[in-house]
């Protein structure tokens, strides 16, 4: 799966439980290819009467379980004037509901030695808990309650608005990295739902009404818009019966499919970006920080997988091409550099980011970087480097297959993005078949200077 930066791809794609791996007999388990690795996942997949998808995988090693709930709603379903609604709403899901006072959810988790959290992306909103097995029924009740009965108490709503605005300042307005990332998204995805930040524009967050958020909640927090994944020490049949009893009775949103079809129209995701472009932004960075970005394909394409390889070859680790060229050589120009392939449901961006050393001329460096990129398709993409990337995948495949939470994230992400948690079988085959020609082809196609956006943040740039 190629939906985000390379490290995130590895952690989400290649996570499972250690007792669920099979290799060919009589072979060194690290000597084989990716195609020789098989996840022997025992997963039960069901759909409740109201349309909610359920995935359950039992693991009885310890009396604990992880529960992930994926909602198909993110920044891509927002319009100008409502940006940040999804993220703001995520905060409110931990507040008062019809039958539970504010704080009930978190207090129950913490009092039983567990932990919980949530995150919002452009494509989805995900809630997760890691708790003892004896809490399974109460956790399901709590999830059912906040799926159906959120109240958006006025006082709590206004307090959380300020929390979100402060979070925005910390992540974007007062952070050079946040500034440059937001500028990149606005530039590459101009005029599309991806052209901003998940937290939203400050003006929109300040003006968002409770009524508008409640409308958003009722539209998208429906069982037929959710996937629930449970991994750990549970009884599958008993859990499914209990889910049907507690969540199966929640009414589905019959208008959801039509609404999502409208919001997912391809025309909404056609970027109006005018490339190439060079932008300079005033910020707090003592030395120039930069990003060089290019439009790229969305999730699940073979070209996207090839771009994952290219990102690793160019900018992952001390031996990567750009690190050796600009950071560790005899005359270094950069403090750091990395490359990433960030893919979303309906589009993507390939980018290179780094920070200059003191007294390095920004304009001269930009020209030098562009020349290096043009040479990299042949100089960096070699059989050795392609194989090294496959080895990285192999090592991470083993090192990340440790926890219930890891498997929950893995199953949920594949089911969410592809509609089938078994998608990893196809992905591993694609990664294993990757070769020099395929990686060079995407390098030449997508890393064109005519499609580039070079953005820098520096305290010496004009305000």
Q: Which of 289, 271, 267, 313 is nearest to 447 (CA)?
A: 313
- Say how many residues make up the chain: 463
**Same domain for 294 and 373:** yes
Angle at 302 between CA 297 and CA 305, to 5 degrees: 80
In a domain? residue 404: yes
Looking at residues 181-203, what average pLDDT do you find?
A: 97
pLDDT at residue 5 greater than cutoff 70: no
Residue 40's pLDDT band (cuts 50, 70, 90) = confident
Of the candidates 249, 268, 287, which is a domain's last residue? 268
Name the residue range of residue 238's domain.
20-268
Does residue 143 sit in the same domain as residue 195? yes
Domain identity same for 259 and 288: no
Does some domain include residue 304? yes
**Token pair of 85 as six digits:** 């609604």
Q: What percent of the chain has pLDDT over 90?
A: 85
Residue 255 has pLDDT above 70, yes or no: yes
Residues 175 and 205 in one domain: yes
Q: What pLDDT score was predicted for residue 150?
A: 98
372, 322 contact by CB (below 8 A):
yes
Domain count, the chain: 2
Greatest CA separation for the chain? 67
Judged against a pLDDT cut of 60, whether residue 211 lies above it is answered with: yes
Tokens representing 298? 């969305």
311 and 234 share a domain?
no
CA angle (105 as vertex; 102, 108 as ends), nearest 5: 120
Last residue of a domain, one of 268, 285, 310: 268
% pLDDT > 70, the chain: 91
Per-chain mean pLDDT for the chain = 91
198 in Cβ contact with 121 (< 8 Å): yes
* Residue 178 and residue 309 in one domain: no
Q: Are 379 and 317 within one domain?
A: yes
At residue 69, the pLDDT reads: 98
Verify that 108 and 227 share a domain, yes or no. Answer: yes
Q: In which residue are the tokens 């969305």 written?
A: 298
- Res 16 pLDDT > 60: no
C-alpha R_g of the chain: 23
3-state helix, strand, coil in the chain (%, to 5): 45, 20, 35
Can you give the pLDDT at residue 20? 35
- Among the listed ranges 32-46, 195-209, 309-323, which one has the minimum average pLDDT value? 32-46
Looking at residue 25, what is its pLDDT? 37
Q: What is the pLDDT of residues 100-136, one digit of tens each?
A: 999 999 999 999 999 999 999 999 999 999 999 999 9
Predicted confidence band at 18 (pLDDT cuts at 50, 70, 90)?
very low
pLDDT of residue 394: 74
Determine which of 71-80, 86-95, 401-410 has the lowest per-residue pLDDT on average. 401-410
Instruction: Answer yes or no: is 244 within a domain.
Output: yes
Residues 320 and 307 in one domain: yes
With left for phi above 0 and alpha for psi between -120 and 50, is residue 300 left, alpha or beta?
left
> Do both 263 and 273 map to the same domain?
no
Has residue 14 been placed in a domain?
no
> Would you say residue 13 has pLDDT above 80?
no
> What is the band of 34 on the pLDDT scale with cuts at 50, 70, 90?
low
Is the residue at 11 inside a domain? no
Q: Residue 8 above 90 pLDDT?
A: no
Q: Is residue 30's pLDDT more than 60?
A: no
Q: How confident is the model at residue 398 (pLDDT cuts 50, 70, 90)?
A: low
Whether residues 256 and 303 fall in one domain: no
pLDDT at position 11 over 50 = no
Domain's final residue, options 268, 300, 322: 268
Is 90 exceeded by the pLDDT of residue 35?
no
**Residue 399 within a domain:** yes
29 domain-assigned: yes
What CATH number is attached to the domain comprising 374?
Answer: 3.30.830.10
Both 197 and 163 in one domain: the answer is yes
Residue 296's DSSP bridge partners are 348
Say how far apart CA 74 and CA 303 lie, in whole Å.
25
If pLDDT is split at 50, 70 and 90, which confidence band does 293 have?
A: very high
Where residue 399 falls among pLDDT bands split at 50, 70, 90? Answer: low
Tell me, yes or no, whether 2 lies in a domain: no
């Amino acid at each position: 799966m190629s939906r985000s930066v390379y490290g995130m791809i590895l952690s989400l794609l290649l996570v499972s439980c250690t007792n669920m791996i099979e290799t060919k007999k009589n072979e060194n388990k690290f000597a084989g290819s990716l195609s020789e690795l098989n996840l022997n996942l025992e997963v039960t997949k069901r759909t409740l009467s109201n349309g909610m998808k359920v995935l359950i995988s039992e693991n009885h090693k310890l009396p604990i379980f992880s529960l992930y709930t994926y909602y198909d709603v993110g920044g891509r379903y927002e319009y100008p004037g409502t940006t940040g609604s999804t993220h703001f709403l995520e905060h409110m899901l931990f507040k008062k509901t019809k039958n539970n006072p504010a704080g009930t959810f978190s207090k129950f988790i913490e009092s039983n030695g567990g932990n919980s959290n949530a995150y919002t992306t452009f494509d989805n909103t995900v809630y997760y808990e890691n708790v003892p097995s004896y809490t399974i029924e109460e956790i399901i009740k709590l999830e059912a309650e906040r799926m159906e009965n959120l109240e958006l108490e006025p006082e709590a709503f206004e307090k959380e608005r300020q929390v979100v605005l402060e979070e925005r300042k910390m992540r974007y307005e007062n952070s050079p990295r946040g500034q440059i990332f937001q500028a990149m998204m606005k530039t590459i995805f101009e005029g599309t739902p991806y052209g901003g930040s998940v937290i939203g524009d400050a003006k929109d967050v300040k003006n968002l009404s409770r009524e508008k958020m409640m409308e958003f909640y009722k539209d998208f927090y429906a069982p037929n818009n959710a996937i629930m994944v449970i991994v750990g020490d549970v009884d599958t049949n008993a859990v499914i019966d209990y889910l049907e009893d507690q969540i199966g009775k929640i009414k589905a949103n019959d208008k959801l499919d039509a609404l999502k079809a409208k919001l997912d129209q391809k025309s909404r995701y056609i970027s109006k970006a005018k490339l190439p472009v060079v932008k300079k932004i005033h910020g707090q960075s003592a030395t120039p920080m930069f990003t060089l970005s290019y439009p790229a394909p969305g999730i699940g394409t073979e070209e996207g997988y090839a771009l994952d390889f290219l990102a690793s070859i160019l900018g992952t680790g001390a031996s990567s091409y750009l690190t050796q060229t600009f950071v560790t050589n005899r005359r270094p120009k950069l403090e750091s550099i990395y490359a990433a392939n960030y893919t979303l449901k309906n589009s993507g961006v390939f980018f290179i980011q780094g920070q200059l050393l003191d007294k390095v001329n920004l304009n001269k460096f930009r020209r030098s970087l562009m020349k290096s990129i043009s040479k990299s398709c042949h100089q960096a993409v070699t059989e050795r480097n392609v194989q090294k990337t496959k080895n990285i995948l192999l090592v991470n495949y083993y090192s990340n297959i440790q926890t219930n939470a890891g498997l929950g994230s893995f199953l949920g992400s594949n089911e969410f993005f592809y509609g089938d948690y078994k998608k990893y079988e196809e992905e591993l085959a694609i990664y294993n078949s990757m070769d020099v020609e395929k990686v060079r082809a995407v390098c030449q196609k997508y890393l064109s200077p005519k499609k580039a956006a070079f953005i820098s943040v520096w305290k010496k740039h004009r305000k």
